[in-house]
Amino acid sequence: MFAALSWSLFAESGSYDPLAYRTGLASIQALGGDLYHSLGATERTLVSSEPISFETSKRPSIRLLYRKDGPEVIRGVWVSAGFIELVNQFAHAKAIDRQRKGYLRRYVELMQHSEDQIPPLPDRETAAFWTDDVLNEQLSNFNSIVGILVAIDFSHHYIGHYQKYARALGGPSGDQTPINNLLTREEWEESYQAGVRNAMSAGCLIEGVVPFFESLNKMKHRPSWAGFFLPDHLNFAAMRKDMVKLQRDFLRVDH
């Protein structure tokens, strides 16, 4: 898995740019394949083997993909250009925060006032922000966030949430209502627990996604796109404890 990811990081860049991310659509698609193969046999029948599709919208979103192609039913997720930008820059801001305390908090303050697209990182061209150590942590954060968010959305297909809420979602357009805001608390818990287990089986741990969820949860004003990643008015403190326990139990078992 990691070899495939490493190849995809460099394959995405047509020419070398020292201030360009090596994480993007190709790495998400590779990770989506790993998540698919980490599912159980029954779950794999309800998620497509190539489950990641791309849309050009600058608004961050992960939307459920369901369409019929002749006799075949395609189930997966749409990821937007804005989502890739959001995760790249959040993962980077989290890594930068280790050397410039408060950087992530200030960046999240900028994000919460952005409805249509994600703002650029402050002082983005600072050389110290692009060292190998910082970019390695950015990569780790990116994989954690993407892996768990995508895996949670996969679970809506195989648990049956998409079928239950399909009409309320508003169809295939970019204005689709976030399913997270339609789920009951019990349904959300079932989905994120299944997603976390799937992501961990594919090699993604929670260290990057926990601060991502925490940052959304602490926003005084949540942009409407935040609902694609975390239900509105969620008590994340309880969820955080549960995620930590899921990972501790997972790592305790010899996989």
Q: What is the pLDDT of residues 30-58, one digit of tens each?
A: 999 999 999 999 999 999 999 999 999 99
Average pLDDT over residues 75-89: 96
Q: What is the mean pLDDT of the chain?
A: 90
Strands 72-80 and 52-55: parallel
Contact 145, 209 (CB under 8 A): yes
pLDDT reported for residue 86: 97
- 192 close to 77: Cβ distance less than 8 angstroms: no
Q: How many CB atoms lie within 10 A of CB 110?
A: 15
Q: Report the alpha-carbon distance of residue 193 to residue 99 in Å, rounded.
A: 32
Secondary structure tally for the chain: helices H, strands E: 10, 3
In this predicted structure, what is the pLDDT of residue 69?
A: 83
Question: Looking at residue 17, what is its pLDDT?
Answer: 67
- Percent of the chain past pLDDT 90, that is, above it, reads 78
Tell me the C-alpha to C-alpha distance, in Å, between residue 242 and each of 84, 195, 210: 27, 13, 11
pTM over 0.85: yes
Whole-number percent of the chain with pLDDT over 70 = 90
Q: Which residue has the tokens 């394959």?
A: 11
What is the pLDDT, as a whole number, of residue 151?
A: 98
Q: Where exactly are the structural domains of the chain? A: 2-252
Confidence at residue 250, expressed as pLDDT on a 0 to 100 scale: 94
> Across residues 169-177, what is the average pLDDT?
67
